[in-house]
Amino acid sequence: MDIEELRTIVLEIDEEMRQEGIPVEQRSVRLRRRLSNRLKSWSLYETPEQRAASEILESLYPQGALGFKHTYTGAFYYKDVIYPLGVGTVFGRVTIKPEKFIVGLSPDRWYQLKSDPSAYGRYIDQCRDVADLSLGLDDLRQQGIQTPALNRLEAGVGHLQSASEAATGRIAKDGIMHSTFLGAEVLLKGALLAAGLPDSKLRSIGHNYSTLVTELCKTFPEVNKAALVRAGSFLPKSVSERYEHMEYSTEAAGFGIMACQFIGGEVCRLLTKRDLRSLVKLDGTPYRLERSFP
């Protein structure tokens, strides 16, 4: 097959994937199987045609567009720095590798983190939370959860992700903390709405975090109430603080985001029964320790 024939096939396959709504970052992975089916030729190893087809596909997009991206970006605070914490695209059953989550941590800092049981415990907790939040939300979309509840959950995640992405820059920390408070509130309301609580009841609660936690514990007796109460201690005390200059520190913003990530992860675990903690391994051994944070 000459290169022009192959180019035509790749363009057709790319258009098929576009019409099917397959994300750009997944197309390179899916090209190989589709090309094999089209040519009726299968191999365990990459063939010259497959290699050439991949190069043609790459030429259609900006550099790096076809690479795997983090589908959700959270944050982790460690030694005065807030690092991005990402969850990538997942296909099938996987073992979660903690070192793949954090972005920008040097090898020396990674060694220090692993050598500190308290800090590493917090890190594992956050890996679990951002994974359960991101992948759990995908589960809820696929399960067809009622739209008002899904909209509320997605709005809560939007507040949280805005805080996470802002925190890795130089934006004032007050705004980040306000986003974590709103994110936590809306995530809890989304869970209660999904469980059948009327919207009028949620509106009457307003911005009262402790009342939302109480309602969640009534609805889901298995919830980790103590951890939710502790999480609230890392958030602004009241929504009215958004009108005040609080001068939150980087540490406060980091722990505020991590607390909200726990709330989001806990909400998704309650609604989906998904819990990726069992997949986390440390040097090949399942990580079984209790939560360190919050």
Q: What is the pLDDT of residues 203-214, one digit of tens each?
A: 999 999 999 999
Q: Which comes out higher in pLDDT, residue 33 or 261?
A: 261
Nearest-angstrom CA–CA distance, 191 and 153: 7
Nearest-angstrom CA–CA distance, 155 and 150: 8
282: β partners: 285
What is the helix (H) or strand (E) element at residue 281, kind and residue range? strand 281-282
Would you say residue 278 has pLDDT above 70? no
User: Mean pLDDT across the chain, nearest whole number?
Assistant: 85
Q: What is the biggest distance separating any 2 CA atoms in the chain, rounded to whole angstroms? A: 68
Would you say residue 12 has pLDDT above 90? yes
What is the helix (H) or strand (E) element at residue 78, kind and residue range? strand 70-78
Cβ 157 vs Cβ 183: under 8 Å: yes
Predicted local confidence at residue 179, as pLDDT: 92
The model's confidence at residue 276, banded by pLDDT at 50, 70 and 90, is confident
Mean pLDDT check: name the lowest of 39-48, 197-206, 261-270. 39-48
The model's confidence at residue 23, banded by pLDDT at 50, 70 and 90, is confident
Q: Which comes out higher in pLDDT, residue 7 or 89?
A: 7
Dump pLDDT digits (tens) for 37-80. Answer: 888 876 655 678 888 988 898 889 887 666 545 556 789 999 99
Q: Which comes out higher in pLDDT, residue 135 or 196?
A: 196
The model's confidence at residue 164, banded by pLDDT at 50, 70 and 90, is confident
The model's confidence at residue 193, banded by pLDDT at 50, 70 and 90, is very high
Predicted local confidence at residue 257, as pLDDT: 96
Nearest C-alpha neighbor of 192 from the set 160, 210, 217? 217
